[in-house]
């Protein structure tokens, strides 16, 4: 694959329509179309853009107590989750194909053809032909996210080779996990994608640190959310009267491999950040620090990453029964010949 010396990226800061997956998918398609007018190579959406980040909801859960109203909220939320692949990803795939760009979008994922209620915070990676190349499930939901999201495992830690370098994804506070970052660096990530729901100032410092540590471009993408993105029945709940109209201020940004902002955090509005990245900066920045190369101490430190898919139930065929069946078939053939 011939390597490009530059690439054009689009970081989309927009709000999802909570409890309205159809409307959010349609919004995503329009945003992909809008970004593609700039002839971009890569489009990044925020964490759980499809399915939504239920900021402010507590699902009526307390230590040792669950309620019918909380279960109803969870059912409503789970009903908006998507299968991969599924009808929602098929619609997005068509838009991606028209755009001809790599697209990474956060979704709430549910298992295919399964009535279980385990949901995953997932980033889906589409190729420019519209095909799903890979997905990454968040390894560790943060705080009360653990009430509604299950954990991913090491089987979904992809780094994708593209004409403009390797892209990898860690979601929100996974980026505070040193070993998770090391797993990305070990795969040679060049464009480090960090969709998030964290809009605090400290997050921006972390993005600069990761760019310096990995000597890679860091693209961070957050939603801009107001109460208008929530259904009226949710907005009218007492807890929401205490919250500001602006539920998430955004803060999407792009950082260079030497830690400086190429695009400063976008605050207080929806928008699409478009930037042309000079990919030669990656090698130049690694001249004096290569975290998995000349600056590593493999004789002192090492990391083992378990990429095996973890399953609650493993079905193993009875080899003795299978052997008997084979012999029985062979004997039948012999009897027929006789």
Q: What is the pLDDT of residue 331?
A: 60
**Active site (annotated) includes residue 221:** no
CB 203 within 8 A of CB 251: yes
- Choosing from 27, 47, 110, 213, the catalytic residue is 47
pTM for this entry: 0.92
Instruction: State the Cα–Cα distance between residues 98 and 103, nearest whole angstrom.
Output: 12
Highest CATH level, class, for 6-285: alpha beta
Q: What is the pLDDT of residues 40-70, one digit of tens each?
A: 999 999 999 999 999 999 999 999 999 999 9
Q: What is the pLDDT of residues 193-248, one digit of tens each?
A: 999 999 999 999 999 999 999 999 999 999 999 999 999 999 999 999 899 999 99
Domain locations along the chain: 6-285
**Active site (annotated) includes residue 172:** yes
CB 130 within 8 A of CB 93: yes
- Choosing from 121, 172, 221, 253, the catalytic residue is 172
| Tokens representing residue 111 in the block | 């298992």
- Choosing from 109, 138, 248, 253, the catalytic residue is 138
**Active site (annotated) includes residue 47:** yes
CB 42 within 8 A of CB 12: no
pLDDT along the chain (338 residues), means of 10: 90 96 98 98 98 95 95 96 97 98 98 83 98 98 96 97 98 98 98 98 98 98 97 93 95 98 98 98 98 96 96 82 58 57
């Amino acid at each position: 694959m011939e390597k490009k010396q530059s690439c054009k990226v689009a970081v989309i800061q927009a709000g999802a329509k909570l409890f309205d997956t159809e409307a959010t998918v349609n919004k995503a398609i329009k945003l992909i179309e809008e970004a593609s007018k700039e002839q971009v190579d890569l489009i990044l959406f925020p964490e759980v853009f499809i399915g939504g980040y239920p900021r402010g909801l507590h699902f009526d859960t307390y230590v040792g107590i669950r309620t019918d109203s909380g279960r109803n909220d969870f059912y409503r939320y789970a009903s908006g989750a998507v299968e991969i692949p599924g009808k929602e990803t098929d619609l997005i795939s068509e838009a991606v194909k028209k755009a001809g760009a790599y697209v990474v979008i956060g979704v709430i994922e549910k298992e295919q053809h399964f009535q279980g209620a385990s949901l995953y915070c997932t980033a889906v990676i589409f190729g420019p032909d519209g095909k799903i190349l890979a997905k990454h499930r968040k390894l560790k939901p943060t705080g009360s996210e653990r009430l509604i999201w299950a954990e991913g495992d090491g089987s979904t830690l992809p780094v994708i080779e593209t004409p403009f370098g390797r892209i990898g994804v860690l979601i929100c506070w996974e980026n505070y996990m040193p070993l998770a970052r090391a797993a990305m660096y070990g795969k040679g990530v060049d464009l480090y994608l960090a969709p998030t729901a964290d809009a605090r100032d400290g997050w921006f410092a972390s993005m600069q640190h990761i760019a310096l540590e990995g000597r890679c471009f860091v693209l961070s993408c957050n939603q801009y959310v107001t109460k208008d993105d929530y259904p009226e029945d949710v907005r009218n709940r007492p807890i929401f009267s205490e919250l500001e109209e602006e539920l998430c201020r955004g803060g999407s940004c792009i950082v260079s491999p030497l830690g400086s902002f190429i695009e400063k955090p976008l605050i207080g509005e929806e928008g699409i950040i478009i930037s042309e990245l000079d990919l030669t900066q990656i090698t130049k920045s690694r001249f004096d620090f290569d975290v998995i190369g000349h600056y590593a101490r493999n004789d002192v430190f090492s990391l083992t990453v378990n990429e095996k898919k973890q399953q609650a139930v493993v079905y193993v065929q009875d080899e003795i029964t299978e052997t008997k069946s084979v012999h029985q078939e062979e004997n039948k053939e012999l009897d027929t010949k006789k």
